[in-house]
Structure 1
Amino acid sequence: MAWNTLDDMDLAGKIVLTRVDINVPMKDGQVTDATRIERIVPTVRAILDMGGKPVLMAHYGRPKGQVVPDMSLEPLVPALEEALGVPVTFARDCIGAPAKTAVGDLQPGQVLLLENTRFHPGEEKNDAKFAASLAALGEVYCNDAFSAAHRAHGSTEGIARLLPACAGRGMAAELGALEQALGQPRRPVVAVVGGAKVSTKLDLLANLVRKVDHLVIGGGMANTFLAAQGIDVGKSLAEHDMTATARDILAKADEASCEIILPSDIVVAREFKAGAENETLAADACPADAMILDAGPQTVERITATFAACKTLIWNGPLGAFEIAPFDTATNAAAARAAALTADGTLISVAGGGDTVSALNKAGAASDFTYISTAGGAFLEWMEGKTLPGVAALST
């Protein structure tokens, strides 16, 4: 799929309606984590440098089509000004007279932030009239909110069909990284999928076994696969009603010549707490009164050897209970090896998903990965092979 970027557009003197994700955590009217705001800076600065006038569209929270004062975007103005280094004005609505007036008053070198798009029911319904009201405010549409690209909303899909459209810097980087990882990857490809439940990642697993050469399954999901092979997993977190599905996935992987890597040794404990007494056993030797909380060193050695033999890595989910030591050992060790191989230039590594980002940050490995996606649902749906409406609307 091909899409236009900012570099393909003539922005001089034009109003550029820019969809961003600035759904940041707030406390007492103050931004507590500005990561998402910082990520839009390259796009907004590029528009300004190209002579355009950026008008930011964004959602905040779930107001469900109603005006909810506590979900106004106005408190974000100071944080935006600090990050962008330019004056930011605010419109008390995203369509209609308040928005039109604010756009008309916008001066070169300034940025305008429109009020929460989800204050209108037409946003989430992708209502044609609402999308047209947004489009009437500008001359070019730029989408820099990959995290919202899996939603066919007025500000992500509807408007893209009404104006010359392009991907912002962040969106283009995300799409490029994902295309490099799953679209036309350097082979062999290995994927790591972890987390608690097989049931939440069925589509992901079914897609990956057809596209990757090796699939590492970790966390609670691995326990379900072990149980599917007739192994007693004691009191471990496992979906015993999903064992038939797990066997089906193993069969599909075999048909596709995709190697499934499950734990061959495990770390078990009788209680789930930091520093709990634990022991390392063979995967088929979990005591009836214990629970599997991490993969063992033999498994880690096999995983890292696979990383070293591959050219591309896609990672979603931890290998164990990474939140507490010592059950973060496997995740930390595997992440460190992936980071080192990436730093050496021998591995392309792309990771995403909430727990994944937290786990890689905790391991101190995130900065060396080729690309870390902060998008949750959109990243997963891309990995599942689904078409993202916000991306499809940008295709040339």
Structure 2
Amino acid sequence: MNFIKNMDLKNKRVFLRADLNIPISQDGKIIENYKLKQILPTINYIQENGGKVILATHIGRPDPKEHTNFYDETLSTKILIPWFEENGYEIKYKIDLIKAENFSHENFSKILLLENLRFYHGEKGNSLERENFAQILKKLADIYINDAFALIHRDDCSINELILKFSPKDRGFGFLIDKEIKELNKIKYNPEKPFLVILGGNKLETKIPLLEYFLDKDEKTKPNSIIIGGAISYTFLASQGFNMGQSIVDNTKIDFAKKFLEKAKEKDIKILLPIDHVTIFGIQNTKNFQENESAIDIGPDSIKLFSDEIIKAKTIFINGTMGIYMQPESSTGSKEILNTIANSDSYKIAGGGDCIAAINLFNLQDKFNFLSTGGGATLDYLAKDVDAQELPGLKNL
């Protein structure tokens, strides 16, 4: 794979595929700018070495299938322009890709910002649409740089088909992907023990490959303990016969949860689950959960149980939250657990959109060693015993 520092960028137009899919408020304001900050080293390097930045990203999940000329102002990349300008960057914005080709040759000090790639049929369309889209995008640039780590497990045209339009010497990756892989490799291949993994959130299905992978790891790399909190924990508790009332339980994953807990015990991996919960009626013990109750956060005893495990660890990876962290009545679990991690002596890495958003909300970002921009991509990379270049978005670099 070509690292951008080993490529000649002088007088070259550089197609930079970034992931600037950031949370936007209803009135069009940027809520959280972490991903924007992370792409700046690559943008700066291209400009400092004589290249022209052709900046491409998607925002949200627009569906242009039913429209010939799809456009949604709330998901337009125009939203990003004020932030870049406030940080000293000159921006030229184009929605018409044919006309954009003319501007790609002009004023190398200006960033050419393309419209949301997912507004165009070819980004997620059929093979013919994708091929045509790739050809149009190729005309905009001489070099292709992928720095969208959060999308390396996706099959978008700009991630997969487009790169093949460039010769191998003109394909590369940026500083963010380089940093992501180096940091994640520390916990994937050589975690200092005790190694603790903390998983939360409400999407158990996305965590399953990683949980299964941990069961196959050797003594050097397997976690010593795994904390499972948030909504995904209710399925594990239900698999042990606990009545979780109206809480979210994935009945299709009960069998997986039961077998996982059994195998983890065989592998001597300690599993910690919540022992009490916050409900709309107050604090409830796992053993005494009522049929009409619904858990929205972990309780104080669970916070103590998890915190005691956290302070023992030398390496911690966390993905997901303990409750609905945006609401005051269900944010305590996430806040306390993240605070304990942040103030521990461990090497700490966090990943996942909600987890990173919570860390920023509680102003803890400077206390973590690394915040991964990937959600599913981070989990996929950690869960596969393969080199980074075998991931879909990197295999052709």
**Code of the aligned partner of 2:332:** T
Partner residue of 2:193? 187
Candidates 320, 331, 339, aligned match of 2:342: 339
Matched ranges for 1:65-84 at <5 A: 66-70=68-72, 73=76, 75-76=78-79, 78-79=81-82, 81-84=84-87
1:219 aligns with 2:222: no
- Give the gaps of 5 or more residues in structure 1: none
Matched position secondary structure for 1:349: strand
TM-score, normalisation: structure 1: 0.82
Cα distance 1:110–1:324, how it changes in 2: closer, same or farther (>3 A)? closer
Question: Hey, what's the Cα distance between the residues in 2 that align with 1:44 and 1:165?
Answer: 16
Give the count of matched residue pairs: 377
Residues 32 and 357 of structure 2 are in contact (CA less than 8 Å); yes or no, is this contact kept in structure 1? no
Q: What corresponds to 2:207 in structure 1? A: 201
Partner of 2:365: 366
Residue by residue over 1:115-164, the C-alpha shift from the partner in whole angstroms, topping out at 9 and shown as x without a partner, is 34334433224634532442343222111222222222221122333242
> Which range moved further: 80-89 or 224-233?
80-89
Once the two structures are TM-superposed, the CA of residue 314 in structure 1 deviates from its matched residue by 1.4
Question: Secondary structure at 2:108's aligned position in 1?
Answer: coil
Which residue matches 2:101?
100
What are the ranges of 5 or more consecutive residues in structure 2 without an aligned counterpart? 217-221
Q: CA deviation at 1:339?
A: 0.4
Structure 1 segments of 4+ aligned residues over 4 angstroms from their partners: 24-31, 71-74
Query: Which residue of structure 2 lines up, in the alignment, with residue 154 of structure 1?
Result: 157
| Partner-residue secondary structure (3-state), 1:56 | strand
Query: 1:222-237, aligned counterparts within 5 Å?
Result: 222-237=233-248
Q: Is the 8 A contact 1:42 1:169 kept in 2?
A: yes
* Cα distance change on mapping 1:153 and 1:320 into 2, 3 Å: closer
Match of 1:110 in 2: 110
> Any residues of structure 2 matched to 1:1-396 within 5 Å, and which?
3-24=1-22, 30-33=28-31, 35=33, 36-61=35-60, 62-64=62-64, 66-70=68-72, 73=76, 75-76=78-79, 78-79=81-82, 81-94=84-97, 96=98, 98-104=99-105, 106-125=106-125, 127-161=130-164, 162-163=166-167, 164-210=170-216, 211-263=222-274, 265-269=275-279, 272=280, 278-279=282-283, 281=285, 283-341=286-344, 346-385=345-384, 388-394=391-397
Identical aligned pairs, as a percentage?
28
- Could you tell me whether the CA contact under 8 Å between 1:31 and 1:79 is conserved in 2? no
Amino acid at match of 2:72: D
More deviation, 56-65/222-231: 56-65
SS in 2 for 1:227: helix
Amino acid at match of 1:89: K
1:199 deviates by 4.2
> How far has the Cα of 1:218 moved from its partner?
0.8
Q: 1:381 Cα shift?
A: 3.0
TM-score of the aligned structures, taking structure 2 as reference length: 0.82
Aligned mates of 2:305, 2:320 — CA distance in 1:
18
Q: Structure 1 residues 41-50 or 219-228, which shifts more?
A: 219-228
CA distance in 1, matches of 2:27, 2:324: 34
Does the C-alpha gap of structure 1 residues 188 and 242 become closer, same or farther in structure 2, counting only changes over 3 Å?
Answer: same
Provide the secondary structure at the position in 2 that maps to 1:155: coil
SS in 1 for 2:122: helix
Q: Secondary structure at the match of 2:380?
A: helix
Cα deviation, residue 49, structure 1: 1.0
Q: CA deviation at 1:266?
A: 0.6
DSSP-derived class of the 1:18 partner:
strand
Alpha-carbon offset, residue 34 of structure 1:
6.4
| Cα contact 1:29–1:75 (8 A) shared by 2 | no
Q: Which residue of 1 aligns with 2:219?
A: none
In 2: Cα distance, 1:25 partner to 1:228 partner: 35
SS in 2 for 1:391: coil
Q: 1:243 to 1:60 in 2, by over 3 A?
A: closer
- Aligned partners of 1:16 and 1:53 also within 8 Å: yes
Q: Secondary structure at the match of 1:310?
A: coil
Asked whether the 8 Å contact 2:134–2:162 carries over to 1, the reply is yes
Q: Distance in 1 between matches of 2:269 and 2:194?
A: 11
Q: CA deviation at 1:325?
A: 4.2
Q: CA deviation at 1:297?
A: 3.8
Q: Deviations over 1:251-288 (max 9, x none)?
A: 2323433221112x31354xx3xxx5x2354x323345
Partner AA of 2:196 in structure 1: V
Separation in structure 1 between the aligned mates of residue 183 and residue 95 of structure 2, nearest angstrom: 36
